[in-house]
Chains A and B, each alone.
Chain A
Amino acid sequence: EPEVTQTPSHQVTQMGQEVILRCVPISNHLYFYWYRQILGQKVEFLVSFYNNEISEKSEIFDDQFSVERPDGSNFTLKIRSTKLEDSAMYFCASRLNRVPLYEQYFGPGTRLTVT
């Protein structure tokens, strides 16, 4: 069964450093998402991406964040200058463009630890 994959599974970085989290969505999916979950808190939406552009973003997704689909398979989240409060699990998700089926399929996550 096709699945969303994410690398790395765990990333440790120092405050102020740039990190890139990588995702390979399910191959025939057209919408791509990033979410995060800070320990003990809810899963929060960051950004959605469709047709090579951001379709929605949350207040969390400020100028320090960017997303890119550099080729036909990868979808990346870059944090330019990490802060301690960026420590969280980051989940990538994807879905088909098939109304009215809006199910999003999630990857296993990348645990980001900022020290």
Chain B
Amino acid sequence: DQQVKQNSPSLSVQEGRISILNCDYTNSMFDYFLWYKKYPAEGPTFLISISSIKDKNEDGRFTVFLNKSAKHLSLHIVPSQPGDSAVYFCAASEGNAGNMLTFGGGTRLMVKP
């Protein structure tokens, strides 16, 4: 089941620069998308979300872009900080009553000082 894919297993970025994490999906019924950050031995922490009626949502250093025609979303972190080093998961939901989340495989971000 590859409905949500994160093709880059890892990304290394210099502190202060922009981090761009990408996610692709195949299910056109998905209408809500979320990004989570996960540290080892902890649960996923919600970062930012976007509804399919929007193409951009911004929260501080984090911006999520949604391209529905390409079935692609991205998370931009600017400026990147060493504390941002973690595994980032994108997740998608069909917005039905249960709203189960379908997760991508994650991208490990390393921000170097």
A43 at the interface (CB under 8 A from B): yes
Q: Are A103 and B100 in contact (CB-based, < 8 A)? A: no
Stretch at the interface among A14-22, A70-78, A79-87, A104-112: A104-112
Stretch of B21-29, B44-52, B66-74, B77-85 lying at the A interface: B44-52
A105 with B93: CB separation less than 8 A: no
B contact residues, total (Cβ < 8 Å) = 26
Contacting A at CB under 8 A, from B33-52, are 34, 36, 41-46, 49, 51
Distance in Å: Cβ of A36 to nearest Cβ of chain B:
11
The yes or no answer to B89 lying at the interface (CB within 8 A) is yes
- 15 A-B pairs in the complex with CB atoms less than 8 angstroms apart: A6-B43, A43-B103, A44-B103, A48-B98, A50-B97, A55-B98, A58-B100, A100-B51, A102-B32, A102-B34, A102-B49, A102-B99, A104-B34, A109-B42, A109-B43
A-B complex: 3 closest residue pairs judged by Cβ atoms:
A56-B98, A106-B43, A48-B98
Chain A residues with a Cβ under 8 A of chain B: 4, 6, 31, 33, 35, 42-45, 48, 50, 55-56, 58, 91, 93, 95, 100-109
